[in-house]
Copies of this chain bind each other. A is one copy, B any other.
Amino acid sequence: MSPADIALASKPRPKLADVAARAKVSAATVSRAYNTPDIVNEKVRNRIMQVAAQLGYTPDAAARALRSGKSGIVGVIVPTLDHSIFARMINSFQERFSEAGFFTVVLSSGFDNRSTFDKAKLLVDRGAQALLVVGGVEDVQLRPMIKSLAIPAVSTYSYLEDPLVPSVGFDNYQATSRMMDYLIGLGHKRFAMIAGSPDGNDRQRSRITAYQDALRSKGLIGTDRVLIRQVTIEAAQDAGQELLHRWPDTTALVCNNDISAFTTIAMFRRKGLRVPEDISVAGFDDAEYCTLIDPQITTLRVPALDMGRHSAEILLEALKSGERPRPFQLDTELIVRASTAPPKA
């Protein structure tokens, strides 16, 4: 090896054995100093740690993973990162797992159940120790896969009585029912809804059903006025157009997300409609910007932070105890602001 090579070669990472040698103990003891410090003599342990710090030693993650069978990775599958509600959830989830020494790998499925399966497989193949799926698990391939899984899995967002996958979330049916009770209480008789696609999406299905059930039970109009759209500004604009065109007598518009509420309110006002005097508009999620528009948006507050935090919590518990994660129900809150009011007489 020439001098130049020596200069260029970055010194190899120190390993367990190097620390052991310098600290005059066996490799096993160094390992124990890291993994079960309590059973190592304090003086010895301190010496080891000091040497480790000197050498700049950190345990090799791959070797550790191979030997212990623990990858230190948890997987999350989320429909998209583009909705702030999911971002918030993941943030708190990840924070909790980070404290526990795990890396969180987030994969997005694009609202596609088939892709959810693919991503889950990817994660499991790479040794993920736990799995969080946002939304009910409906894919026909994913269900048997999760069933046979040796690692804990939890679904979040919806609270579902799924015997297969414990969930941490809220009751979407109840949430929308609450909104409907409020609007019906205001005296509205003709409703419409902007919803996301119910295909393979339990949240949307529950909300649509709750909407229709509420109307049916009171004999009100609007069970057929359900506009299925993606969650984008363009799509919401299109939905608003169609609403005004087909059912101009609607007095209460129930949106399944704040983007749609926001967009349609802006559009209605541009067309000279008054909100809430001419039409009430309600959202879902309670995004930050609900208080920015005039009128401020009445909406359902979704416990995003708690969902992430609690999912992490029960997965961590399951990881420790080896038992099945325990489902946990959270609640939504109806936030009444200015975008809803009694209909004109």
Q: Residues of A with Cβ closer than 8 Å to B?
A: 10, 58, 60-63, 65-66, 69, 71-73, 80-82, 84, 87-88, 90-91, 94, 98, 103-108, 125-127, 148, 150, 233, 259, 262-263, 266, 269-270, 288-289, 291-294
Contact = CB atoms under 8 A, between A and B. Distances in A.
14 contacts: A10-B148, A60-B127, A61-B65, A61-B127, A62-B62, A62-B127, A63-B66, A65-B65, A84-B87, A94-B106, A104-B105, A104-B106, A233-B292, A259-B288
B66 A62 contact: yes
Contacts of A91: 80-82, 108
A290 B104 CA distance: 32
Contacts of A293: 266, 292-293
Contacts of A73: 103
Contacts of A288: 233, 259
A88 B293 CA distance: 24
A291 B270 CA distance: 12
Contacts of A60: 66, 127
A87 B108 CA distance: 12
A105 B97 CA distance: 13
**Interface centre among A62, A63, A107, A270, by most B CB within 10 Å?**
A62
A270 B98 CA distance: 43
A87 B10 CA distance: 35
Contacts of A150: 10
Given A58-B125, A263-B292, A292-B266, A82 B72 contact: no
A126 B61 CA distance: 5
A248 to B, nearest CB: 22
A87 B98 contact: no
A326 to B, nearest CB: 20
Contact of A289 (B65, B126, B289): B289
Contact of A87 (B61, B82, B94): B82
A269 B291 contact: no
A200 to B, nearest CB: 21
Task: Please name the 6 residue pairs, one residue from A and one from B, whose CB atoms are nearest each other, closest first.
Answer: A62-B65, A62-B66, A58-B125, A61-B126, A266-B292, A81-B87
Contacts of A233: 288-289, 291-292
A293 B105 CA distance: 35
Contact of A82 (B63, B82, B84, B127): B84
A94 B104 CA distance: 13
Contacts of A69: 62
A108 to B, nearest CB: 7
A82 B88 contact: yes
A293 B266 CA distance: 6
Contacts of A259: 288
A129 to B, nearest CB: 12
Contact of A90 (B81, B105, B107, B262): B81
Nearest to A105: B103
Contacts of A289: 233, 262, 289
A78 to B, nearest CB: 11
A98 B107 contact: yes
Nearest to A269: B294
